[in-house]
Amino acid sequence: MGKINFLSLVVLILLFSVNSFGDDDFDDFDDFEDEVKIKKIYDPFESYNRSMTSFNDTLYMNVLIPIDNVYTTITTQGMRNSVGNFFNNIYFPMHFLNNLLQFKIDGVLIESGRFLINSTIGILGLFDPASEFGLYPHKEDFGQTLGYYGVGGGPHIVVPFFGPSNLRDIFSMLPDAAVNPVDYTQRPWWTITDTWAGYLGIKTVEKFNNISIYSTQYEQIRKDAVDLYPYLRDIYEQKRDEEIRK
């Protein structure tokens, strides 16, 4: 990883704590509320998880939301949409590979078509004409690939700064990172960044862009939840199970 000074480490911690969920984890929130039965979740670290949830929530609400308010002030909605489109496009290698590993040929073709169209007509992915042509995202990650082959999530774990996860999905971050075009190390294949400065810069933009999209939903969850930790835990685990089943 090379040498990292203290300031870089702090910035890295902050930018990865911007959301307890991924880009689309709030999309099925209404469906979650309608569920009557939720499977019992393996949670042997509940005491620790509650403490980390409280820590992450405090950081999010008191540090990251105020910073994001500045970001939304200096950018337009159209600019933020383009940033989101750009990042969805450059993660094509991860989505392509995991669709392939699961033998989801339709997903392989859809993601390939989306990448080709959005990288050209969509001007390097800043726009999403592929969706207008009926090619909607078919995102897959290595956690879903393991789940496809029957690997269970294991114990639920709230990761400091990252948020809700489980043992399977934490492990899965490593293979996905190997094909991630946003990196801080030099590789034998092309990447957008290969330095800590470049990596921190582009990830900061990505994460604060996500906050601008999902902060309202998160604040609504906080208001609706009688007990925030199990609410967030159940949303995460249910959504991952649904993603694996699709």
Q: What pLDDT, on a 0 to 100 scale, did the predictor assign at position 94?
A: 96
User: In the predicted model, what is the mean pLDDT of residues 29-44?
Assistant: 62
User: In the predicted model, what is the mean pLDDT of residues 200-205?
Assistant: 90
Q: Does residue 35 register a pLDDT over 50? A: no
**Which tens digits make up the pLDDT trace of 52-61?**
999 999 999 9
- What gap in Å lies between CA 210 and CA 83, rounded to an integer? 9
Instruction: Outline where DSSP puts E strands in the chain.
Output: 156-159, 163-166
Structure tokens at 226: 């009688």
The model carries a pTM of 0.83
Q: Does residue 17 register a pLDDT over 50? A: no
Q: What one-character DSSP code corresponds to residue 179?
A: T
Q: What pLDDT, on a 0 to 100 scale, did the predictor assign at position 110?
A: 97
Q: Sort strands 156-159 and 163-166 into parallel, antiparallel or unpaired.
A: antiparallel
Q: Does residue 37 register a pLDDT over 90? A: no
- What gap in Å lies between CA 160 and CA 156, rounded to an integer? 13
